[in-house]
């Protein structure tokens, strides 16, 4: 699903691709309640002339995102990408080395197409064990440093600890938690967006 705002000058062109999983696909609620649509509304209210393409797929892994990215870049020619993948890798305890390779490939592929990237990090609950949870978190922090991209360390910061903001599965934020998700990425996204026309 895509939303568009008024056209900007070519120098200020802003076409944001959101490549994520159920956390960005408004799982369990109307898409109008999800943080991506809240972002669309905020950008319009603050005078940014941006188009947002939400290419998030519930259940997707980094491998799935990697497979889909080339066609998405070709179809939508984004200027910015919010990369929010990896949670499903962790929940399935998939190898962190492969997850890192996938994320790095997506970052580098996007940047080759002159796309500015915001990497959104995740963390695993402690029941996955300290070795895996530490390795998992380190994938995001090391990639952000090595690739020099804008970075949100933990997408669910301040949400996962609030039961009233979570759905019954305790994995997905509900409609009440979506604004906090937006706030968690806003400052880092703002740092890479073009200046308002």
Tell me which residues are annotated as active site: 22, 169, 172
Sign of the CA dihedral running 177, 179, 180, 185: positive
Measure CA 124 to chain center.
16
Distance CA(113)–CA(98), nearest Å, equals: 23
Q: Six-digit token pair at 52?
A: 């947002």
C-alpha angle 9/15/18, rounded to 5°?
Answer: 165
Q: Where are the beta strands (DSSP E) in 28-161?
A: 50-54, 80-84, 116-120, 150-152
Quick check: 178 and 136 in contact, CB under 8 A? no
């Amino acid at each position: 699903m895509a939303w568009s705002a008024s056209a900007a000058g070519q120098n200020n062109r802003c076409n944001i691709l959101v490549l994520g999983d159920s956390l960005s696909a408004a799982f369990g609620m109307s898409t109008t309640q999800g943080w991506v649509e809240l972002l669309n509304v905020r950008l319009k209210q603050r005078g940014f002339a941006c188009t947002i393409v939400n290419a998030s797929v519930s259940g997707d892994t980094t491998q799935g995102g990697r497979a889909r990215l080339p066609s998405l870049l070709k179809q939508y020619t984004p200027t910015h990408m919010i990369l929010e993948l990896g949670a499903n890798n962790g929940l399935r305890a998939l190898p962190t080395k492969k997850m890192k390779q996938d994320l790095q490939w997506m970052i580098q592929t996007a940047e080759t197409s002159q796309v500015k990237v915001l990497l959104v990090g995740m963390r695993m609950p402690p029941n996955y064990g300290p070795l895996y949870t530490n390795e998992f978190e380190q994938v995001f922090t090391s990639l952000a440093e090595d690739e020099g991209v804008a970075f949100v360390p933990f997408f669910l910061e301040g949400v996962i600890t609030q039961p009233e903001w979570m759905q019954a599965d305790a994995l997905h934020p509900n409609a009440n938690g979506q604004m906090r998700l937006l706030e968690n990425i806003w400052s880092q996204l703002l740092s890479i967006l073009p200046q308002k026309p």
